[in-house]
Chains A and B, each alone.
Chain A
Amino acid sequence: NAGVMQNPRHLVRRRGQEARLRCSPMKGHSHVYWYRQLPEEGLKFMVYLQKENIIDESGMPKERFSAEFPKEGPSILRIQQVVRGDSAAYFCASSPSEGPISNQPQHFGDGTRLSIL
């Protein structure tokens, strides 16, 4: 158990529906990162959040994708009007609150495998 909890593990949606992916970071971690893994590709950075703040969303597609990390509750990655190309594994990672962020390894969840019909 990595400690980073993602749900659901598998999510099936039809084109045009919305997908909501959830991530609860490890206890004591306030930095959350989302990565996307397309088939036969490495993970690609999407967004970095701290509580109630989006720090860097440079890896997110400009449309249909959004992320939040509210004061209470998990981080949510939301994909509106899904298309076939959104099919991928979405991984969340978290890192501790203390110390230089560059020195903190990221701990990953099990991922959510999103399939679009």
Chain B
Amino acid sequence: AQSVSQHNHHVILSEAASLELGCNYSYGGTVNLFWYVQYPGQHLQLLLKYFSGDPLVKGIKGFEAEFIKSKFSFNLRKPSVQWSDTAEYFCAVKIPYSGAGSYQLTFGKGTKLSVIP
């Protein structure tokens, strides 16, 4: 079964610092990859997704992620964070065309980001 690892449990940054959150998955075949964000007390919102094509994916709010197949990674980046980016970030994977894997999202444990003004 596939799994998702997020390396950092809690990241603390000052405003304007650059952000990179790590995400690795364990599956050798085709994957669909997602980053979700959860602001305090709110629902998960889709930041960006990768299905195929350009491995550099642009999402909402200035976020981007790069799919590196050889490293099984899908790291999330933002050049300059704001206080309003304080939230928990979840990486998730689906395995398309694989029965249950095509609809079951497998999530990482999440990374809490705290941005200090």
Question: Chain A: residues with CB nearer than 8 A to chain B?
Answer: 2, 4, 31, 33, 35, 40-45, 48, 55-56, 58-59, 91, 93, 95, 100-103, 105-111
Per the 8 Å Cβ criterion, residues 29-71 of B in contact with A are 32, 34, 36, 41-46, 49, 51
**Number of chain B residues close to chain A: CB under 8 A:** 29
Question: Chain B: residues with CB nearer than 8 A to chain A?
Answer: 4, 6, 32, 34, 36, 41-46, 49, 51, 90, 92, 94, 96-98, 100, 102-110
Asked whether B104 lies within 8 Å of A102 as measured between CB atoms, the reply is no
Chain B residue nearest to A9 in the complex (CB): B41
- Enumerate chain A residues within 8 angstroms of B41, measured Cβ to Cβ: 110
Nearest 6 interchain pairs by C-beta: A42-B107, A102-B96, A102-B102, A108-B44, A110-B43, A45-B104
Chain B residue nearest to A103 in the complex (CB): B51
